[in-house]
Amino acid sequence: MNYKSLQEIVNLAQSESLEFWEVIAREEAISQNVNQSQIFEQMRKMYHAMKQSITQYDSRQKSPSGMSGGDGEKMRQYRRTHQTIAGDLLSKIMETAMMVAESNACMKKIVAAPTAGSCGVLPAVLQVFEVEKGYHEDKIVEALFVAAGIGEILALNASISGAVGGCQAEIGSASAMAAGSVTYLEGGTMEDILHAATLALKNMLGLTCDPVAGLVEVPCIKRNVAGAMNAVVSAQMALAGIRSVIPPDEVIGAMASIGREMPVCLKETGTGGLAVTRTAKIIAESLS
């Protein structure tokens, strides 16, 4: 690929009068040796799979461990019967993120975006924005290319693996990708997109990966909800003109550094954090 940083994507886009998403789509088409329209349709299929990960949700189903299932429906019913704290749009994003993450725990088909553990963030934000704000599906697909470009740089210069960088690399990356996508949908500039992603990532720096019993359920599912909300908050800050004092690519470098310095016990090993609390040990023992 012709870029190795977020700023290089912006520079390429500006030098060739392209949108951020067009740079990513073009590079992917070149790498696969197909035309750009084929790449666009591939990404559309990915989005359709994301939507299916929402519609397949079954509130009656519990995960094999019994630790998760049904909470997304509780969120939906609460929204329908109460005046919510977060308002209708954000409440729908919250419940959708939880539904997709619960579907993952129940062994249903999801899209790893960028990982299975963070699969609820992007679908929740994009699907709710499409339905509630009336965006054409083509625009949503373009936003997915924005997310893909951000994710590609995160994977290249830091990590998207909880085992390597902690949950900042999974939920943090997903949140940054979603923040950039939302900012694009809402008409933000390329600078807005970069800073939305950066603000989202900064809010997640240092987040540990400490799953109970080694399963992608506790605390992972609720962190999907937090990541989705963080994406919207960060997008709105960037659209308002708020900027990260630390430049975007330097924040990614900091994330990589934190991941390297993070103790192994806090990187998906199940030997630290929430995973070694008294209750977590009881749960792990009951499942062994």
* Confidence at residue 1, expressed as pLDDT on a 0 to 100 scale: 80
Helix 6-15 to helix 248-261 angle (10° resolution) is 160
The pLDDT tens digits of the residues spanning 134-186 come to 999 999 999 999 999 999 999 999 999 999 999 999 999 999 999 999 999 99
In a domain, 281, yes or no: yes
* Confidence at residue 189, expressed as pLDDT on a 0 to 100 scale: 98
Alpha-carbon gap, residue 208 to 284, rounded angstroms: 19
* Confidence at residue 199, expressed as pLDDT on a 0 to 100 scale: 98
Alpha-carbon gap, residue 115 to 163, rounded angstroms: 12
Q: Which residues pair with 209 in a beta bridge?
A: 267
CA 17 to chain centre: 28
Containing structural domain, residue 224: 6-287
93 vs 36, 72, 139, 147, 193, CA distance in Å? 31, 11, 18, 17, 20
Average of per-residue pLDDT values in the chain: 98
Please measure the distance between the N-terminal and C-terminal CA atoms of the chain and give it in whole angstroms: 45
Alpha-carbon gap, residue 204 to 230, rounded angstroms: 9
Q: How many CA atoms lie within 13 A of 54 on its CB side?
A: 22
The pLDDT tens digits of the residues spanning 82-139 come to 999 999 999 999 999 999 999 999 999 999 999 999 999 999 999 999 999 999 999 9
The pLDDT tens digits of the residues spanning 179-236 come to 999 999 999 999 999 999 999 999 999 999 999 999 999 999 999 999 999 999 999 9
Helix boundaries (H) for the chain? 6-15, 20-32, 36-55, 71-81, 88-105, 121-133, 137-157, 162-165, 171-185, 190-204, 220-239, 248-261, 278-287
In a domain, 230, yes or no: yes
Count of domains for the chain? 1
Phi/psi at 27 (5° precision): -65, -40
In a domain, 43, yes or no: yes
In a domain, 24, yes or no: yes
In a domain, 60, yes or no: yes
* Confidence at residue 114, expressed as pLDDT on a 0 to 100 scale: 98
In a domain, 123, yes or no: yes
131 vs 8, 123, 148, 154, 189, CA distance in Å? 33, 12, 21, 29, 23
The pLDDT tens digits of the residues spanning 55-88 come to 999 999 999 999 999 999 999 999 999 999 999 9
In a domain, 28, yes or no: yes
Q: Which residues of 181-213 are buried (b: 16+ CB within 10 A; e: fewer)?
A: bbbbbbebebebbbbbbbbbbbbbeebbbbbbb
Q: Could you tell me the pTM of the whole model?
A: 0.98
CATH number, domain with residue 172: 1.10.4100
In a domain, 1, yes or no: no
Phi/psi at 267 (5° precision): -125, 70
Closest of 123, 129, 116 to residue 221, by C-alpha: 116
Q: Token digits for 220?
A: 């992972």
